Copies of this chain bind each other. A is one copy, B any other.
Amino acid sequence: MYLRYLEELDTQGQKTASSDELAHLCGTTPAQVRKDLSFFGSFGKRGLGYPVHELTAHLRQILGLEREWKVVIVGAGKIGAALANYRGFRQRGFKIVGVYDNDPTKIGKPWGEAIVHDMADLAQDIQREEVPIAVLAIPSDDAQDVVDRLVGAGIRAILNFAPAQITVPPHVSLKSVNMAMELEGLSFALTNSLPSQGAA
């Protein structure tokens, strides 16, 4: 989140930013900002604040965004399409090296700049190209099956959009986005008149 705002400030040509300013932008407190950043190092100048451009570089480094990450998208449905078209990925160093589906009417068809591959080739392709990250955009029923194949092929991280509960071994990172669950969180907030979650 800090990186997002710092990039914005950098684009606007701002040279430094105080913890107070960052806190205000991010909806947190100055002390929180300082503690968070101090965990990774001592980036600021007393009396002046944090050097915007330098700090963005540091954070990118910390997040591992200096390198390019190969990513496969599994599932050429609507969500897969939304993801494949999303320019933000490329911009941030995530290179989509393949889109996979098991629908014969989709395989071989063009898909943005890429072509839809047969899911049967998924495992071997990942293994050969050493792709570390997969984005899962397939129906729930197949999710765990596909995950197991991905894990077997050596995937190291999975971003899951299927509304299914899936499990992975400890050495694989898993992050699930469940849109229905997000809406349910809002339902809870509305039902209980909770205050806003603020920006995120």
Contacts from A to B (Cβ < 8 Å) = 1, 3-5, 8, 25, 62-65, 69, 71, 77-79, 81-83, 85-86, 88-89, 91-94, 132-133, 135, 156-157, 159, 163, 165-192, 194-200
Contact partners of A62 in chain B: CB under 8 A: 188, 191
Q: Main SS of chain A's interface residues?
A: mixed
| Cα–Cα, bound, A62→B157 (Å) | 33
Is B133 within 8 A of A184, CB to CB? no
Is B156 within 8 A of A169, CB to CB? no
| Cα–Cα, bound, A188→B77 (Å) | 28
Contact partners of A165 in chain B: CB under 8 A: 4-5, 8, 25, 199
Is B173 within 8 A of A189, CB to CB? yes
- Set B81, B94, B156, B180: member contacting A183, Cβ < 8 A: B94
Contact partners of A77 in chain B: CB under 8 A: 82
